[in-house]
Amino acid sequence: MALSSIVHHDAPDFGVRTPGTSGLRRPTREFQAPHYLESFTAAILEEAVPKEGATLVLGGDGREFCVPATQQILRLASAWGVERVIVGRDGLLSTPAASHLIRLHHATGGIILSASHNAGGVDGDFGIKYNGENGGPAPPLITDAIARCATSLRRYAILVAEDLPLHQIGRHHLGAMQVDIIDPVHDYAELMESLFDFRAIRALFTGGFTMRFDAMHAVTGPYATDLLERRCGAPAGTVIRGTPLPDFGGEHPDPNLVHASGLVEDVMTAGRYDFGAASDGDGDRNMILGRGCYVAPSDSLAILAAHLHRIPGYADGLVGVARSMPTSRAVDRVAAALNIPCYETPTGWKFFCSLLDAGRITLCGEESFGTGSDHVREKDGLWAVLCWLNILAVSGQSVRALLEAHWAEYGRDYYTRHDYEEVSTSSGEAVMHSLRDRLGTLPGFLVSGRTILAADDFAFTDPIDGSQATAQGIRILLSGDARIVVRLSGTGTRGATIRLYLESVGRGTPSVEDDVQHELAEVIRIAHEITGIEGQTGRSEPTVIT
């Protein structure tokens, strides 16, 4: 195609567009406005993609606007001079599968279209994120540059061309650029098969073990069907809500006790299955349930740390582990017992990536239903589910037995997160400002019978490259091994979301029947006294409790 088929468009001033914890997330309608997606993509290309010889991976979670956005991004990439784009059929790629493909093909990077666990559809959210050559989310240096460029950019180039048949696997050319439309599942499923003992998992199902996997009408449907039902021999129907829909069936594709309530009812409350799991919009999160029990993500991380060496891909053991700051300290005690380092990083997967790249850690996770390892540079929902299945298969134990044995050995961290969603930006900031102003005066204070031992605003220095991140959330340590953490969400798209993380290490014999909110009632009361959330926001109850 001749160069003349590239046209230049003027882009209006969209104001500051700073990517949050995981890329730029905005209401879908905003993304659909003329030049919005185009100018932000142009900023990504400008700041992260060389004009010659680049290979990109491209795909998304199937939400509304993913397909037209994929077609536009292909035209923009061609005009920029990208040599090759590898795109998932129908524009689908889970976030961990995209991360794997970048690494597998030694690509320059990848563009992922998703707003993760946020609702989709025309009235929901859309998002775009850039991952670098290691397969992980671009570091702040790059995302800051993209934000500056997107704010000042007034002109971009795009190829004039027809849509490509995204539903067909095959090779195409768009201008001088090669486009390979591939099966979104195959390479990822092969990677999983190289890590896990699928024979043992198969035997588990043959022996009558039952499970439900809730794909929440998001991207993991095709992946879970191939892995669980085809490769591991689980009966057809094990995967529910397995067809990706543009609006996720009108629900939040967020695998937690609130948004996956049907699964929770079936597995936890009614005890109809041995095992239950769910993943989010883009497939990087996981929720784990056993018959009559729920595995808190922080506990899941600790249990995986204790058992991962039983899985073939991790037979050499762990070199180290990491958790995000608000994640409970349960994994720290496993790391101490294994005599391996445990790193505490700010919220967001990108902070794990330099440790993973440097070979300092094998396993890492977040309290927000995120777990992963050095096999990719994103958290990985189905990988975590397969870890659990593999451990259940080789241990012959139930989820409940594994949990209770773990708590008996290491103690239990009662843990909950209270989210105050869509409060006004000013009241969210007021809560944080007021806490920051009082930080120095808190230690030594006696509240409801507990002493505040320490209080700080979490700051982190990357042990590999020395880069610094400050103001990552308020940590308040109380006597009796309790901890309160407060931070503002970086992924919300409307107003502000305050996250309050509460934990306390229990004594005695913990059981899955314990009422976590009751165990933490006193710590919750103290948190309200210290933070003044109710007074600042006018909210007496959180919107979501996990």
Binding site for ligand VG1 (CB under 6 A): 21-22, 116-117, 280, 284-285, 324, 347-349, 366, 368, 370, 489-491, 499
- CB of residue 176 vs ligand VG1: minimum separation in angstroms? 33
Q: Which residues of 518-533 are buried (b: 16+ CB within 10 A; e: fewer)?
A: ebbebbbebbeebbeb
Residue 348 binding target from ligand VG1, Co ion, none, CB below 5 to 8 Å by type: ligand VG1
Least Cα distance to 418 among 245, 246, 280, 537 occurs for: 537
Q: Which residue number, 26 or 84, has a Cβ lying nearer to Co ion? A: 26
Residues 476-515 that bind Co ion (CB under 5 A): none
d(CA 151, CA 149): 5
- Select the span of 36-44, 109-117, 327-335, 456-464 touching Co ion (CB under 5 A): 109-117
In this chain, which of 47, 266, 282, 404 binds Co ion, going by CB under 5 A?
282
Q: Which of 229, 251, 284, 378 binds Co ion (CB under 5 A)?
A: 284
For the bound state, the minimum distance from the C-beta of residue 374 to ligand VG1, rounded and expressed in Å, comes to 18
Decide: helix, strand or coil at residue 373.
strand
Specify the residue, 470 or 511, whose C-beta has the smaller distance to ligand VG1: 470
Residue 499: which of ligand VG1, Co ion, none does it interact with, CB under 5 to 8 A by kind?
Answer: ligand VG1
**Which of 125, 226, 266, 280: binder of Co ion (CB under 5 A)?**
280
Closest residue by Cα to residue 513 from 258, 292, 271, 262: 292
22 binds, among ligand VG1, Co ion, none (CB under 5 to 8 A by kind): ligand VG1
Q: Would you say 185 or 442 has its CB closer to Co ion?
A: 185
Give residue number: closest CB to ligand VG1: 116
Q: How far is the CB of 546 from ligand VG1 (least distance, A)?
A: 10
Lookup result for tokens 């702040």: 140
Burial (Cβ within 10 Å: 0-12, 13-18, ≥19) of residue 365: buried
CA distance 476 to 485: 6
Buried b (16+ CB within 10 A) or exposed e, 282-318: bbbbbbbbbbebbbbbbbbbbbbbbbbebbebbeeeb
Contact 241, 250 (CB under 8 A): no
Q: Are 385 and 286 in contact (CB under 8 A)?
A: yes
Using CA atoms, how far apart are residues 390 and 308, in angstroms rounded to an integer? 9
* Edge-first strand listing for the sheet containing 342-345: 342-345, 321-324, 363-366, 370-373
Please report how close the Cβ of residue 20 comes to ligand VG1 at its closest, in angstroms. Answer: 6
Site mask, Co ion, residues 61-100, x = CB under 5 A?
----------------------------------------
Residue 349's binding partner out of ligand VG1, Co ion, none, with CB under 5 to 8 Å set by partner kind: ligand VG1
Catalytic annotation on 448? no
CB 227, min distance to Co ion, A? 18
User: Which CB sits closer to Co ion, 282 or 462?
Assistant: 282
As measured in angstroms, the least distance from the Cβ of 104 to ligand VG1 is 21
Give me the catalytic one of 78, 99, 116, 300: 116
Of 112-120, 127-135, 141-149, 431-439, the segment contacting Co ion by CB under 5 A is: 112-120
Q: Binding partner of residue 143 among ligand VG1, Co ion, none, CB under 5 to 8 Å per kind?
A: none
Q: Quick check: 197 binds Co ion (CB under 5 A)? A: no
Burial of 408 (0-12, 13-18, 19+ CB in 10 A): exposed
> In what side-by-side order are the strands of the sheet with 287-290?
239-240, 211-214, 275-278, 287-290, 293-295
CA–CA–CA angle 87, 89, 90 (5° rounding): 105
Contact 457, 474 (CB under 8 A): yes
Nearer to ligand VG1, 112 or 185 (CB): 112
> Which one, 227 or 364, has the nearer CB to ligand VG1?
364
Interface contacts to Co ion, rule CB under 5 A: 116, 280, 282, 284
Catalytic residue annotation: 116
